């Protein structure tokens, strides 16, 4: 089993003081297209996450051994207080629940880390994934009550596609559910279990025991799942937004789009927001299925929309691995958009300058109602006022 080390600090990291509106602090405002609080030197960051206790976490999808699979950051300065490394191999985004961070690696290892201290709770092997394509670790582990569901699914026929359920306390395997095809997007967790979208056009609900409750054939690859307790929302290459009743898998309504969807729909109390490969951001009424508004953007939506306070943040362009046969993403331009929830566009920022500090912007994500940008050679915290005061 690969060894695990915990280091007190990461010497290569550059921690910067936070900035305030109209002042760049230790960061030169002119050097970056949008106001930043800080930027760290975590190379190839995999994701960000915030625990309920306020601990900011990140990781790296880099295969190198000295890149952290999980690291704890000071959310105000970006300084790394602890990090965890394992053997060489690409790493997944982070799953967070009950004060712990979970991740898997192509080093055939899954880890559970105490998010407050960085101490190892447990680690266990996951086989076989070492020789699989990098897509096998594309999706984060999913907390589901007293268990963690691990999506293991590549983009090639080099690994058995499956969902593995392990006990949250001690990592004992509770179930292994084989999938008939690769995942086409990130699964969604609901009180009923896990909703898994597949590249063969089917979507499946697994209960907590790993048994299939139902399978529905939509006929085309599906996006990541946005879910409430009663309904799952998915974009489809049939150029539709689908609402599925979780109890039965019945399609309750279809919203018209003009292309497929690469991202997870955002679900609020009465709206479903979806960004498409048709260069468009749309809002639908969750009850009636009627389109409420749309805004035409400058590229395919690859990340978001995400809710930050009472605003929506969306990234077009950037980096996105396409699964199935939905086509390719034109990567330029990369633009960050800020909208009011009524569809009013309040800001757009181009981020496709190759001379950007820390390299090109590959993704955008929210944690603790703050926007973070994953870059080739660093993680950037966008100053909150750059979103809220836009």
The pLDDT tens digits along the chain (390 residues) read: 333 333 333 333 333 333 322 232 345 555 799 999 999 999 999 999 999 999 999 999 999 999 999 999 999 999 999 999 999 999 999 999 999 999 999 999 999 999 999 999 999 999 889 888 889 999 999 999 999 999 999 988 888 999 999 999 999 999 999 999 999 999 999 988 999 999 999 999 999 999 999 999 999 889 999 998 799 999 999 999 999 999 999 999 999 999 999 999 999 989 999 999 999 999 999 999 999 999 999 999 999 999 999 999 999 998 777 776 555 666 789 999 999 999 999 999 999 887 898 999 999 999 999 999 999 999 999 999 999 987
| Neighbouring C-beta atoms of residue 12, cutoff 10 Å | 12
Q: Report the alpha-carbon distance of residue 36 to residue 33 in Å, rounded.
A: 9
Burial label, 371 (beta-carbon count in 10 A; 0-12, 13-18, 19+): buried
Q: Report the alpha-carbon distance of residue 301 to residue 25 in Å, rounded.
A: 32
Burial label, 102 (beta-carbon count in 10 A; 0-12, 13-18, 19+): buried
pLDDT, residue 30, reads: 56
What is the phi/psi pair of residue 287, to 5°? -85, -45
Distances, alpha carbon 205 to alpha carbons 189, 253, 266, 293, 355, in Å: 10, 18, 20, 31, 45
Greatest C-alpha distance within the chain: 55
Burial label, 143 (beta-carbon count in 10 A; 0-12, 13-18, 19+): middle
Q: Which secondary structure element, helix H or strand E, spans residue 387, and what is its range?
A: helix 384-388
Q: Please check whether residue 317 is in contact with residue 331, taking contact to mean a CB–CB distance below 8 angstroms.
A: yes
pLDDT, residue 333, reads: 93
What is the phi/psi pair of residue 189, to 5°? -105, 135
What is the phi/psi pair of residue 386, to 5°? -70, -20
DSSP state at residue 183: B
* Locus of tokens 């046969």: 325
Cα pseudo-dihedral 136, 142, 148, 150, rounded to 10 = -10
**Helix or strand or coil: residue 196?**
strand
Q: Is the pTM of this model over 0.85?
A: yes
pLDDT, residue 3, reads: 35
pLDDT, residue 20, reads: 28
Q: Report the alpha-carbon distance of residue 173 to residue 206 in Å, rounded.
A: 16
Sheet holding 240-245, edge to edge: 226-227, 231-236, 240-245, 251-256
Q: Which secondary structure element, helix H or strand E, spans residue 175, and what is its range?
A: strand 173-178
Distances, alpha carbon 8 to alpha carbons 82, 170, 236, 389, in Å: 5, 25, 45, 36
| Neighbouring C-beta atoms of residue 67, cutoff 10 Å | 24
The tokens of 228 are what?
């409430």
pLDDT, residue 125, reads: 94
**Helix or strand or coil: residue 142?**
strand
Give one word for 385, left, alpha or beta, with left for phi > 0 and alpha for psi -120 to 50: alpha
């Amino acid at each position: 089993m690969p060894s695990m080390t915990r280091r007190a600090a990461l010497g290569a990291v550059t921690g910067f003081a936070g900035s305030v509106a109209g002042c760049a602090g230790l960061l030169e405002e002119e050097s970056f297209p949008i106001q930043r609080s800080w930027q760290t030197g975590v190379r190839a960051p995999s994701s960000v996450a915030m625990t309920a206790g306020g601990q900011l976490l990140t990781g790296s999808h880099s295969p190198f051994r000295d890149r952290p699979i999980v690291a704890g950051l000071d959310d105000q300065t970006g300084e790394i207080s602890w990090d965890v490394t394992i053997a060489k191999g690409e790493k997944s985004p982070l799953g967070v629940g009950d004060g712990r961070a979970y991740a898997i690696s192509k080093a055939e290892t899954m880890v559970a880390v105490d998010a407050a201290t960085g101490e190892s709770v447990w680690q266990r092997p996951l086989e076989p994934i070492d020789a699989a394509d990098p897509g096998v670790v594309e999706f984060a582990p999913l907390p589901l009550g007293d268990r963690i569901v691990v999506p293991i699914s590549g983009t090639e026929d080099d690994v058995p596609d499956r969902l593995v359920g392990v006990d949250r306390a001690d990592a004992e395997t509770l179930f292994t559910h084989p999938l008939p095809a690769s995942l086409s997007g990130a699964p969604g967790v609901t009180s009923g279990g896990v909703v898994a979208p597949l590249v063969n056009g089917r979507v499946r609900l697994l209960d907590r025991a790993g048994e299939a409750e139902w399978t529905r054939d939509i006929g085309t690859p599906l996006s990541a799942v946005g879910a409430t307790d009663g309904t799952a929302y998915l974009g489809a290459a049939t150029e539709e937004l689908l609402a599925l009743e979780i109890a039965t898998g019945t399609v309750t309504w279809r919203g018209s789009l003009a292309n497929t969807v690469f991202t997870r729909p955002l679900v609020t109390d009465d709206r479903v927001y979806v960004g498409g490969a048709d260069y468009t951001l749309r809002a639908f009424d969750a009850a009636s299925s009627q389109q409420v508004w749309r805004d035409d953007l400058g590229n395919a939506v690859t990340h978001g929309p995400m809710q930050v306070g009472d605003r929506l943040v969306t990234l077009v362009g950037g980096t996105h691995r396409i699964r199935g046969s939905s086509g390719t993403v034109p990567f330029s331009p990369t633009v960050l958009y800020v909208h009011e929830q009524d569809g009013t566009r309040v800001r757009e920022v181009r981020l496709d300058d190759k001379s950007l500090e820390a390299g090109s912007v590959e993704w955008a994500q929210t944690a603790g109602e703050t926007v973070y940008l994953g870059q080739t050679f660093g993680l950037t915290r966008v100053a909150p006022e750059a979103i809220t005061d836009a």
